[in-house]
Amino acid sequence: MSTHASIDVPAVPASLDTVQDTFAAWWDGQGIDDPTLRFRLETALVEVAANVIEHTRRSDPHEGRRFVLDLTAHDTELVAVLSDNGMPVDIDLGAVTMADPEDEGGRGLALAIAALDRLEHHHEGGRNVWVLVCDR
């Protein structure tokens, strides 16, 4: 059983396909027959990755924007960690709300929070770190 997968990709829209392909291969190696759990974690992962791709900024625009995705299965939880090399982001996850139906965006983090058992964000080693957790 594959319990861990990791990728390091540029923070560009095409990397969402790589994130989804990596997630699918990792998930298939878990032997978990729970489509709801898969949908919850995958939805949240894609939403957070899309936010990283869209909003990550570097102080030096000539340095490439990148992020690392680590997927790990534990006995009691499934964990996805995204860490990007962008400038620190200050966000209060407790203040995130769903956008109005007329708005074109602004739902990603609210969807992720709703789908997950836990979403955390912190700064570590000059990186923004997003921890996504679904209990098993």
DSSP string, 72-97: EE-SSEEEEEEEE-S------GGG--
Residues 6+ apart with CB under 8 A from 20: 42, 46
What's the pLDDT at 122?
93
pLDDT at 101: 57
Whether the CB-CB separation of 119 and 91 falls below 8 Å is answered with no
Mark residue 31 as left, alpha or beta (left: phi above 0; alpha: psi -120 to 50; beta: remaining).
left
Query: What residue type is assigned to position 47 of the chain?
Result: E
Record the pTM. Answer: 0.86
> For the segment 97-127, what is each residue's pLDDT rounded down to a tens digit?
555 556 555 567 888 888 999 999 999 888 9
- Contact in structure between 103 and 4 (CB atoms under 8 Å): no
Strand-pair partners of 84: 67, 128
